[in-house]
Amino acid sequence: MDNLAAYDVIVYFFSQIDLLLVILVRLLGFFLFVPVISGQNIWMQGRLFLALVMAIALFMSGNVTAVYMMDSPLGYVYILLLEFMVGMAMGYALFATFNLIFFAGQLMDFQIGLMMVNVLDPMTQIQVPLTGNLFFFSLLAMLVVTGGLHGFFYMFFYSYTVLPIGTAVIAGNSDLAWYLILLLVQTMVLAVAISMPIFGTMMVINVALGVMVKTVPQMNIFVVGLPFKLIVGSILLWIVMVPNIGTMYWLIFNMAHDAMLEVMWGLRPR
């Protein structure tokens, strides 16, 4: 009896291999942008293995049953491309939200005087601001420790309830385009709000230095101003930004959660 049950499971698995492949394609699109996993220093085979394990878990759960597929090879390829783009759209919402910290770091570094000290981000292989890179890795560490990554995986599983396979609308979806533009504006606003303690203080210092130059023309503003701004900026980073990194994390995490949910609802057919 046990051998017969195992045989039935194997037969069912291979008879539905097309469904497993569609689930795997959406996961691969999602993994292209999801924080932590999308880093280029993460082992590629490990990412593929994780995606395969999650796809099999979703497949065996039986929750992904409502499948809309065209009865032709070309139609199946269309469904694969559509599901890949759905996963990319959800992952991009997380990517855009978490990367706002780089913009905030650039604003802070510009005022402090660290714009020439950009570093290479090992995850994205691009030059990023020093302060932004510090906060970005702190946020990723908190994302893993607090279980936020599991929350994003749960949201991905929930996407099959909101968006059954083959039902997403991407071409000509004005609601999705409008929300992505709105997401860009919201991330920029939050980045400015995060950098405001440093940015605002440095602006006041710049005004004060400008007044001092007018009153004491003999003073070399570059010799006095740059070290002073660097010292004040470093102190503010330590006493203002570092203690509030938890609040910063939850603001970004909640925005990322809402962004992913909005993208899912935006992809639904009208």
- For the stretch 5-38, pLDDT in tens is 555 656 666 667 778 888 889 999 998 888 878 7
Number of domains in the chain: 1
Share of the chain above pLDDT 90, in %: 6
Provide the CB-side half-sphere exposure for 190 (13 A, CA): 23
Provide the mean pLDDT of the chain. 80
Q: Would you state the torsion angle of the CA atoms of residues 85, 91, 95, 98, taken in this order, to the nearest 10 degrees?
A: 160
pLDDT at 117: 63
With a cut of 50, say whether residue 1 has pLDDT above it.
no
- For the stretch 176-209, pLDDT in tens is 888 888 888 989 999 988 888 888 888 888 888 7
Token duo for residue 64: 């992904």
Provide mean pLDDT across the span 241-246.
Answer: 82
More confident residue, 167 or 41: 167
152 Cβ contact list (under 8 Å, min separation 6): 34, 35, 94, 256, 257, 260
pLDDT at 253: 92
Token duo for residue 85: 């783009």
CB-CB contact of 121 with 128 (8 Å): yes
AA identity, residue 60: M
CB-CB contact of 130 with 233 (8 Å): no
pLDDT at 176: 84
Distance (Å, whole) CA 121 – CA 137? 10
Q: Domain range spanning residue 130?
A: 2-266
Q: How many helices (H) and strands (E) does the chain have?
A: 10, 2
SS (H, E, C) 22-62: HHHHHHHHHHCCCCCCCCCCCCHHHHHHHHHHHHHHHHHHC
